[in-house]
């Protein structure tokens, strides 16, 4: 089993603050995705990163894939209450065909 550990598990911050969520593994992934999930809903894809060292920006969100393709980070600038949700990373193994491994999740609460 290829495990993806996310940290922190829970995060509660004030509106306007910055934050970083980490997704780490000892395994190499051919690609990695980040999702956000709200209560009672399925995860919604935010971004896919494929190349080691790749950085992608989505408005106030910055995603980075580690050089060795074993880890990733999500940085949110000036967090808004609408950013509240469960953030999940998911990696596609290099030798596991089609199995996406999801991380343990980071529950973010942004307080107005």
Partner 1 sequence: ETGVTQSPTHLIKTRGQQVTLRCSSQSGHNTVSWYQQALGQGPQFIFQYYREEENGRGNFPPRFSGLQFPNYSSELNVNALELDDSALYLCASSLRQGGNYGYTFGSGTRLTVV
> Which residues bind to partner 1, rule: CB under 8 A?
1, 4, 6, 29-31, 33, 35, 40-45, 48, 50, 88, 90, 92, 96-105, 107
**Is the distance from CB of 31 to CB of 49 less than 8 angstroms?**
yes
Nearer CB in complex with partner 1: 18/99: 99
Closer Cβ to partner 1, 80 or 99, answer by number: 99
Q: How many residues does the chain have?
A: 112
In the complex, least distance from residue 87 CB atom to partner 1, rounded to whole angstroms: 10
| Nearest CA-CA partner of 61 in 42, 37, 34, 39 | 34
Minimum distance between the CB of residue 97 and partner 1, rounded to whole angstroms? 5
C-alpha dihedral sign at 56, 62, 67, 68 = negative
Q: CB-side exposure of 95: number of CA atoms within 13 Å?
A: 4
**Residue with smaller CB distance to partner 1, 9 or 18:** 9
């Amino acid at each position: 089993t290829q495990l993806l550990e996310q940290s922190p598990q829970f995060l509660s911050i004030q509106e306007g603050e910055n934050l970083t969520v980490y997704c780490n593994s000892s395994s190499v992934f051919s690609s990695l995705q980040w999702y956000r999930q709200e209560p009672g809903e399925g995860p919604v894809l935010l971004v896919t990163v494929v190349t080691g060292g790749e950085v992608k920006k989505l408005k106030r969100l910055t995603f980075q894939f580690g050089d060795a393709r074993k880890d990733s980070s999500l940085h949110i600038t000036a967090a808004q209450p609408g950013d509240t949700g469960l953030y999940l990373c998911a990696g596609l193994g290099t030798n596991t065909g089609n199995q996406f491994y999801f991380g343990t999740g980071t529950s973010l609460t942004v307080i107005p």
